[in-house]
Amino acid sequence: MSESIAEVLAGRQVQRIRVGTGLRLELAGAVTVLIDSDFRLLAAGGVEHFYPQLGTGVTGGLTVLTGSRLTGAVVSPAGGLELAFDCGRRLVVPPDTAEHPWQVLGPHGPLFTAEPGGYLTG
């Protein structure tokens, strides 16, 4: 039986964050979360909106994620992704009907990919 996204990501530490045309969360164990669409970062103090395709750098609450650990990962029925971190932040990627909004990669290739229209391959 294959592992769920929560089992694959839970407990992994964020080692590095890169922003280019998307967001890359490089995690311990050679696992990477790629986000290729807009996303939100939720904290007790409010919500930050990020648009990585506009070339935004690692700013605001994103800086707090480096060194934190993932405590949960949930995929919505529509294909959205929510990641919870031990620093109290939640990263939310809404579903996208036209693009691949996010993907989780392992050392040997894709583990989970959100497909247009809310489908998940993995």
Q: pLDDT (tens digit, 0 to 9) for every residue of the chain, 122 residues total?
A: 368 999 999 999 999 999 877 899 999 999 999 998 888 999 988 998 887 766 666 677 788 999 999 999 999 888 899 999 999 999 999 988 767 889 999 999 999 988 776 656 66
Q: In what order do the strands lie in the sheet with 109-114?
A: 14-19, 23-27, 31-35, 102-106, 109-114, 120-121
Q: Which residue range forms the structural domain that includes residue 37? A: 5-121
Number of domains in the chain: 1
The residue whose two tokens read 């050392």 is 107
Rounded distance between C-alpha atoms, residue 56 and residue 50, angstroms: 8
Answer yes or no: pTM beyond 0.75.
yes
How much is the pLDDT for 1?
A: 36
Rounded distance between C-alpha atoms, residue 81 and residue 40, angstroms: 11
How much is the pLDDT for 16?
A: 96
CB neighbour list of residue 99: distance below 8 Å, 6 or more residues apart? 36, 37, 116
How much is the pLDDT for 56?
A: 65
How much is the pLDDT for 20?
A: 78
**3-state helix, strand and coil shares in percent for the chain, rounded to the nearest 5:** 10, 45, 45
